[in-house]
Amino acid sequence: MMLNQIASGPEDLLGLAQRLGLALAIGFLVGVERGWKQRHEADGARVAGLRTFTLSGCLGGLAGALSPLVGPVPTAALILAFAATFVVFHLKHAEADKDASATSVIAGLLVFSLGIYAVVGNPVVASGAGVATAGILAFKDALHGWLRRLTWPEIRSAFLILVATFIALPLLPSTPIDPWGAVNPRSLWILTILVAAASFGGYAALRALGPSSGLIAGAIAGSVVSSTAVTLDVARRAQAKEISTSQGILAASLASIVMLVRVCVLTGTFSSKALIMIAPAAGAAAAVFALTAAGALIRRSTPNGRAGYEAIHSPLDLREVGRFALLLCAATVLAKLIAAEFGSAGLTAFAATAGLVDVDAVTLAVADLVRAGGGAEEAASAILIAAGSNTVFKVVAASIPGTSRFRLWFFVISLGAILAGALAWRITAG
C-alpha cells in the first residue's frame, strides 16, 4: 500500500492512523511492563522504559508507512540505525550495572519490528504478538520458577512426543500398505502418540495439581481424546504405586463416563432418534461408573483410606508405551480386517471389533449409514455394542499392568456397567 494511496481519501487516512495507533499501543504495552520493573531506578538511570518503548513502536510504525515511498534501502538504513543505537545504549548500561541480560534489547527490537508490521502487515497478528511479548516479559519469575522445577526426564519425554508428532508422523505413509487396507502406518502411529501423550499428560497433571485434583483433571482431559489410553496409564501408575487402587478406579471410571458422554454427543449430531434410544443404556452404564467414582472419592477422604501417592516416577515409560501401543494397533488392524471381510452387512461384527479401540469411529461410520437411509435402531444397537466392546477391551488391557486389586475392581465395575446398560436397552428398546 503506497503512501500517496493511503492519503488519497479519508478512509485510507483513517486506516493509516489506526495502524500507527496500534504500533504505538504495542510499544506502550511493553513499555508499561519494562518501566514497572525499573520503577525504583533513578531518573536517567533507565535505558529504556515506558516512553522509550512507546516511541520505538511509533517509530517502527512510521518506518513501515514510509517504506513504500522512500524504498527499501532508506528503510533498511533506518532499521539498522535504530538497532545500532538501541544496542549501544544497552551495552553501556550493561557495563555499568554488570547486567548480562539481553532481554530488553530483544524486546526493543521486537517492538520496533512489530510497529513496522502493524502498518504493512496483518494488524491482528501484530497485536497478538505484542500482547504475547508483554506477557512473556511480565511472567518472568513464574517462567523461571517453572524452568527450575523441570527435570531432565520431563524435558526428554516432551521432546520425544514432539519428535514423534512433528518429525516422524509426517514422514509415514497416510495410505494402507497391505492388500486389505488394514495397516495404515500414519493412523497406527497416531495411536502410539495418543498413548504417550496420555501418559505424559497424567504425569504432568499429578505433578502440577497433586494426587487429588491432578488425577481427576488429567483423566477427564485425556479421555476427551482417548479413554482407553487414560485407563491403561492409570493402571500402570497403580501398579507402580504412584496412585492407590482407589485413585486408579476413580480415574478409570471418570474416563469411561467421558467416553459415554462423548458418544452421546456425537450421536446427537446426526440422529436425535438414535440418541434417544441409546441415552437410557448409556445413562445406566454411566450411573454405575459415577457411583463407583463417588465411592472412590469417599474412601480416599476417610482417615483410614490410603493416601496412595508415594512417588511419581518417569513421565514416559517407553517400554510400557510401546507395549500398549502395539496392543492398540493390533486391535485396530483386527477391526479393519473384519470390517473389510464383512462390510456393512456385518455391522454387529464391525461394531464389536472396531469398538475395541475407537468408539468414535464406529459412531461416525454408523452416522453415514443413517444418512444413507439406515434405521436408527440398528445404528443405536451398533453404537452400544461398540461402547461395550471398548469397555471389555479396557478391562483386558488394563489387567496387564494393573495390580490384582485394580484388575478385580475394574472388572466388577465394568461388568456391572455393561449389564446395567444391556438391561436398560432391553427395557426401552423391547
Residue type, 311: A
Alpha helices of 50-184 — where are they, by DSSP H? 50-70, 72-97, 103-120, 123-138, 140-149, 152-163, 169-171
Between helix 347-354 and helix 359-371 the angle, nearest 10°, is: 150
Report the distance separating Cα 397 and Cα 210, nearest Å.
26
152-156 CB contacts, 8 Å cutoff, 24+ apart: 153/314, 153/315, 153/316, 154/203, 154/204, 154/315, 156/316
| Contacts of residue 423, Cβ cutoff 8 Å, sequence gap at least 6 | 284
E strands along 7-52, which residues? none
Indicate yes or no: pTM above 0.75: no
All 3 cell numbers of residue 27?
510499544
Burial class (CB in 10 A: 0-12, 13-18, 19+), 17: exposed
Rounded to the nearest angstrom, the gap between the alpha carbon of residue 93 and the centroid of all alpha carbons in its chain is 42
- Tens of pLDDT along the chain (430 residues) come to 444 444 454 557 788 888 999 999 999 999 888 888 776 666 655 556 788 889 999 999 999 998 888 888 888 898 898 888 888 877 776 666 666 667 888 888 999 999 999 999 999 999 999 999 999 888 888 777 777 877 787 888 888 888 988 999 999 988 888 777 767 888 878 878 877 887 787 777 777 776 667 778 888 888 887 888 888 888 888 887 878 888 889 999 999 999 999 999 988 888 888 899 999 999 999 999 999 999 888 775 443 334 444 445 556 667 767 776 776 677 767 766 766 666 555 677 778 887 887 787 778 777 766 666 667 788 888 899 999 999 999 998 888 776 888 989 999 999 999 999 999 999 987 6
> Which 8-state DSSP code applies to residue 373?
T
- Cβ(36)–Cβ(103) below 8 Å: no
Q: Residue type at 30?
A: V
Task: Give CA–CA dist 22/118, Å, rounded.
Answer: 7
